[in-house]
Structures are given as C-alpha cells and as structure tokens.
Chain A
Amino acid sequence: MTATICDTAAEAVDVVQDGATVLIGGFGMAGMPVALVDALIEQGASDLTVVSNNAGNGDTGLAALLAKGRVRKMVCSFPRQSDSWVFDGLYRAGRIELELVPQGNLAERMRAAGAGIGAFFSPTGVGTPLAEGKETREIDGRTYVLELPIRGDVALVGAHRADRQGNLVYRKTARNFGPVMATAARTTVVQVAELVEVGELDPEAVVTPSIYVDRVVAV
C-alpha cells in the first residue's frame, strides 16, 4: 500500500506496541529521527527491543527513551561513546540487555530481513567472542559464521525529502542505516524535513523507493 502522510509524529508512531522490536536509524545524531523518537516516548510503548547503531547520545532522543525505562534490550554495534551516559548507567546497573553486533553484520542482518534471505555466512567476527556459539562453515578455504536476519516490527527512519507517495532521498552521511531499516520492518515510519508532490523527485535519485515506506511525517 502506498504511504500514509501523517499530520503529526504522534499519529505516525501510534502503531508501536509494547514488546515491539523497533529499528531506529542514525549514526550518532546524523540521520537520527528525533521527532519520531520523542513521539514514541510520549506514546508510551514499553518493553521494547531497539536496534540502532549506537545506544543514545546525551539526554535526548534515543537516550531519553532509554532513560524512561522503556527499552528491555539494545541491539547495536557501538554503545560506548563520550556522551552515552544514560546507556552506560543502565548497563552497569544490569537494567538493560545488550546484544553487541559488528556494524557490518548489523546492517547485513537487516538487509537480509528486508530481502527475504533466511540467513547468511559472514567472515566478520570469526574467531572472536561475538561469534561464540554460532554455527560456522568453511567455504573455499575460508571460515564464515552464520548470521540470522533482524526484522523490525517498526522502523523509525530520518530522511531528507519524501514525495507524497513515500519515495525518499537522504542527505549526505545522514543516509547511513535508513535505507536498510526501511526494508526490514513490517511498518516503516519516516520523518522528513520536506514533503514534495509526486513527480518532484528525480526518479534516478530516489534512494528508498516508496514500496518500503508506510508512513511519512514532515517535521
């Protein structure tokens, strides 16, 4: 179904249920859909599993969601940053579960989910603690580890511009996980800086085709 244009971020995130797995775009703050995360905090869903490259910066956005105690588990590659004190405190207190995933496996596991791939063998992490307990296989003389898809119930993505059908373009390195997460969730919710009419985006320049997008809100 073509995308629904929402008037408010609150309306856009009302689909998130308790216990949901939520994919949240961004690399640090670049590409982080802050308005959607703020709306999710207001909306109140809890017991969430959040998949995001980092585990929040400062006291806003994802960090604020964590601080409210809404997140049971973080799946990420790089939680420890100079300003990740909210996550750090929860982790040290044993109040949040962490699944640490090498960044390329994190991206590829979501890509696999979005592409209908049941699992894949990755060379990343072989022989390290992050591959412990996982199936390995030697292929053409190299060892690989089996990685399973990560599917989201909802993806929250920050893009630069959308048309009213849901086609997306991003801006510079704020693109990062957005296009992959948009494919990997049952419902993809996108915040954009600008909403334009259908036909105004150059079809050659569309990064995320509208088929992956369910809800759009301009903020």
Chain B
Amino acid sequence: MSLSKHEMAALVARDIPRGAYVNLGIGQPTLVADHLPAGSGVVLHTENGMLDMGPAPADGEADPDLTNAGKQPVTELPGSSYFHSADSFAMMRGGHLDVCVLGAFQVSAGGDIANWHTGAPDAIPAVGGAMDLAIGARSVFVMMTLFAKDGTPKLVGECSYPLTGVGCVDRVYTDVATFDLGPDGVVVRETHGLSYDELADRLDVPLLRGVASGTGR
C-alpha cells in the first residue's frame, strides 16, 4: 500500500532529531507537527516571526495577532519567542534552522526544487519564504506524492517548472518511496507498496539501492 499523507508525515517526524529547530512549510508539511512525539523537544519556527509555535487554539480562543505562515491561528508554548521578519529570515539564511520540510511540484535528482510557480500564463506568482527556506535550512526535506495526477513522475532529471532553489534538497518523502539525494545520486531508502524494480521502471532517473529498502507494507 502507498502511504497516506499522515503516514508520510509520521515518517518525516520520525526522522527529525530531538531538540531540532524546524520549519514546516504550508500545506502537507504542517501535518508533521501532529506526529512529533511528546517530549521530542522539537522547536517549530514560523517565518512570520515566532519560535516554539504551538498548535491551533481551542474553539473561540483564536488571537488575530498570533498566526502561522499560512495565516491560521496558533498558540504560544512555554519557551516561545517573537522576532521581526528580517531576524526570522536571518535564522534561515544564516544556517540556524536544522530542518525544513517543504512541499514541491518537482524535485530533480541533483536536489533542485520547484514549488512556487507552475509557470502557467494566467497563474499569479507567489513565492513567500520558500526560496529562503530551501537554501537556508541545514537539512531540506520534501514531502510530496511521487506521481502527478496524470501519472508523470515528480522526481525528475531536470525540473521543468521554475526553480525555487538549486541543489538544496537532501531527502524526498513520497507516498511510495523515500529517497536520499546525495553526491552519489538518488538513493532509495525505503519503498511502500512498490518494489525497487517497479520504482526504477517508472522513474526516468538512475536509482541506487539503499540500505533499508522495503517496509513490508
């Protein structure tokens, strides 16, 4: 069986080191927060100026002055701090964030990511903090389905969509496999509901067999 979004989020959460400073991108990556174990000590950063961001508030307790990057209401935790936007992005570019988790339209075998613009003529481009995150965090994880709705792979030799960052992605979590992108190439860490050979057959990028292939799902 391929993985659900929540199962993918749980895999990402499992790989985030204890005590790490982490930014979760808008969309699917925010689900990772639900799967961080109690006592993980992971500190969530939100680009609009907060560390140790807490979960959504109880009904009726939303504070319009306390939101996340998706402009949804969030809460404070013991240890929270606030700072302005230039400091928030200094934390990214300055290499202070341990991990960021991003969604993507495409990732290339060389670690390029495209996630901000489809390039369609009537699309309104919006980039937000994606480019800063992609090149700033020490480890960049991507969470996405491996195939688009039309069946074309999203892990590709070269991205056809406009790039967000060059050579910056370290690991790609998908519904059917997890990949490490490194100097040797694309290493398959594990597969979910597909064999390594089936995976290699459906992708146009050379794959290397990782150490932990197959989860028995």
Contact = CB atoms under 8 A, between A and B. Distances in A.
Interface of B: 46-50, 63-68, 71, 76, 82-86, 88-90, 92-93, 112, 117, 122, 124-132, 135-136, 162-166
Interface of A: 27-31, 53, 77-81, 84, 87-88, 91-92, 98, 100-108, 110-111, 122-130, 160, 170-180, 207
Nearest to B132: A104
B165 A30 contact: no
Nearest to B68: A173
A101 B89 CA distance: 13
A53 to B, nearest CB: 8
Given A27-B48, A125-B131, A107 B89 contact: yes
A20 to B, nearest CB: 22
A69 to B, nearest CB: 19
B71 A126 contact: no
Nearest to A142: B135
Chain B interface, DSSP helix/strand/loop, else mixed: loop
Contacts of A126: 135, 165-166
Contacts of A29: 64, 71
B197 to A, nearest CB: 34
Contacts of A128: 131, 162-166
A110 B163 CA distance: 25
B162 A30 contact: no
B208 to A, nearest CB: 25
A33 to B, nearest CB: 13
B162 A129 contact: yes
Contacts of A80: 124-126
A197 B165 CA distance: 48
6 contacts: A27-B49, A102-B129, A103-B127, A107-B86, A129-B162, A172-B65
Nearest to A32: B64
Contacts of A92: 122, 124
Given A128-B131, A175-B84, A104 B63 contact: no
Given A28-B67, A103-B47, A172-B76, 17 more contacts: A29-B64, A30-B64, A77-B129, A84-B124, A92-B122, A102-B127, A104-B89, A104-B90, A107-B85, A107-B88, A108-B89, A128-B131, A128-B163, A170-B82, A173-B65, A175-B82, A177-B84
Contact of B86 (A88, A102, A127, A180): A180
A176 B132 contact: no
Given A27-B48, A28-B67, A176-B84, A130 B127 contact: yes
Q: Chain B CB within 10 Å — which of A79, A122, A127, A160 has the most?
A: A127
Contacts of A28: 67, 71
Nearest to B117: A129
A167 B85 CA distance: 19
Contacts of A87: 124
Contacts of A129: 117, 162-163
A123 B93 contact: yes
Contacts of B117: 129
Contacts of A53: 85
Contact of A103 (B125, B128, B163, B166): B128
A58 to B, nearest CB: 12
Nearest to A178: B84
